[in-house]
Amino acid sequence: MMTSTPTALTTLQNKRVLLGLCGGIAAYKAAELCRLLVGAGAQVQVVMTKGAQEFITPLTMQALSGQAVHTELLDPGAEAAMGHIQLARWADLILVAPASANFMARLAHGEASDLLTAVCLARRCPLALAPAMNQAMWSNASTAANLGLLKAAGILLFGPANGVQACGDVGPGRLLEPNELLQLCAAQFATGSLAGQRVVITAGPTREAIDPVRYLSNHSSGKMGYALAAAAIEAGADVTLISGPTDLPVPERCKLVPVISALDMLAACQVQAADIFIAVAAVADYRVALPAAGKIKKSAEELSLALVRNPDILATIATSTPRPFCVGFAAETDNLADYAKAKLHSKGLDMIVANDATSTFGNDSASVTAYWPGGEQLFEPQSKTQLARRLIALISQRSLIPHV
Ligand code: C5P
């Protein structure tokens, strides 16, 4: 049996795990699993099928998770508090343990006839099943066919183990031990995919001085850049965040370089060694040619400001030597895909992430499409935290492929 390690304790910290329970004698082990997940710092919400409640009470799971347990799909009270869509959006990982043969059959065929199947169908995060059933049911051709469909849909399988079963049979179909399930959950987050990589991220707006008290700027909140910094740290990277002014807390274990203007940001970027450079900052395209030394007094009816182009920080870094893997962001109000792909080429990037400028700025969630030479991936609307983790996973995967 595996034991709980510091890895599980750190990687599950603040992760949102939705634990689904189906009916089966192994449901009692889910109580211990819930306790271990909470002990490892995870936030746990429990969904139980009717069958599960025959084996273990919602009260037990509520006491262990510290949260009300969800059981009904069509309960108006429960739907108002946290309905199936909210639960699905909330989760970073869904683990169904134990997963019964009946549940797997319904899931394989896209049913949403109870709360647990509905949440699984609406999921935006990885889904893992820990099957538990009699060995003959596990070996049955129908279960095997359903399993094929579930695997094809990208659903993860934790176990089952071989051994003596509650019914006296011996064979495959035992639920993995709670500690083993804990480690497998932790492994979903412990990508370590950027271990030892130096990641430099620009974030937030820049401010271009007009005079000592006024500036030109934009609505960037910095949320996406900060979320990417946190996700890169989670993935083991050594992260430097070069940020224009924002109100956001600095992610832990992240080196912050605060800057104000585009020229400051460029200078800060040029002195940072990077293996991966992610430009999320909404850099002002122009700055005031000659900022006034003193406050400009109002007198004339009209005032003209001469503006000059700011250097393109990302394009500059993309031509530096040694050249990091370069990722840009393109916020556009129209022709999103075309403009983003054009920037991928004109700035000489390895990847560009396109988002809709009308809905992104300041929001906590976003939907984006990543483009790279010869490929693209759509990310459905989701929280910037979740999106950042998935973008970092994609960036780490693509940055392993030799680039120019
Ligand atoms: O050209 P555009 O501003 O749309 O390009 C957006 C991308 O380029 C973003 O990744 C942004 O951070 C970066 N950029 C930059 N320096 C500029 C302008 C944009 O790094 N002066």
Residues 278-316 have pLDDT tens digits of 999 999 999 999 999 999 999 989 999 999 999 999 999
Residue in 228, 312, 320, 338 to alter for ligand 1 test, most ligand atoms within 8 A of Cβ: 312
Q: What is the pLDDT of residues 307-340, one digit of tens each?
A: 999 999 999 999 999 999 999 999 888 899 999 9
CA distance 348 to 404: 9
329 lines ligand 1 (CB under 6 A): yes
Query: In 3D, which of 18, 24, 98 has the Cα closest to residue 65?
Result: 18
| 343, 347, 350, 355: CA torsion to nearest 10 | -30
Pocket test for ligand 1, best of 216, 259, 277, 314 (most atoms within 8 A of CB): 314
Specify the pTM.
Answer: 0.61
- pLDDT for 5 equals 43
Q: How many whole angstroms separate alpha carbon 64 and alpha carbon 34?
A: 6
For the domain bounded by 6-187, which CATH number is listed? 3.40.50.1950
- Determine if ligand 1 sits within 6 Å of the CB of residue 120: no
Q: Where are the domains of the chain?
A: 6-187, 198-399
pLDDT band at 83 (very low <50, low <70, confident <90, very high): confident
State whether the beta carbon of 61 lies less than 6 angstroms from ligand 1: no
- The DSSP line for 222-287 is -HHHHHHHHHHHHTT-EEEEEE-S--PPPPTT-EEEE--SHHHHHHHHHTS--SEEEE--B--SEE
> Of these residues, 22, 34, 120, 167, which one is catalytic?
167
Matching fold, domains 6-187 and 198-399: yes
> Cβ atoms within 10 A of the Cβ of 352, count?
26
Q: Is residue 95 within 8 Å of 130, Cβ to Cβ? A: yes
Mean pLDDT value of segment 219-225: 94
pLDDT band (50, 70, 90) for residue 1: very low
> What architecture is domain 198-399?
3-Layer(aba) Sandwich (3.40)
pLDDT tens across 136-158, in order? 999 999 999 999 999 888 899 99
Q: Report the separation in Å between the CA atom of 206 and the middle of ligand 1, taken as the mean of its atom positions.
A: 11
Give yes or no for residue 265 having a pLDDT over 90.
Answer: yes
* Gap from CA of 389 to ligand 1 centroid (Å): 22
Centre of ligand 1 to C-alpha 202, Å, is 10
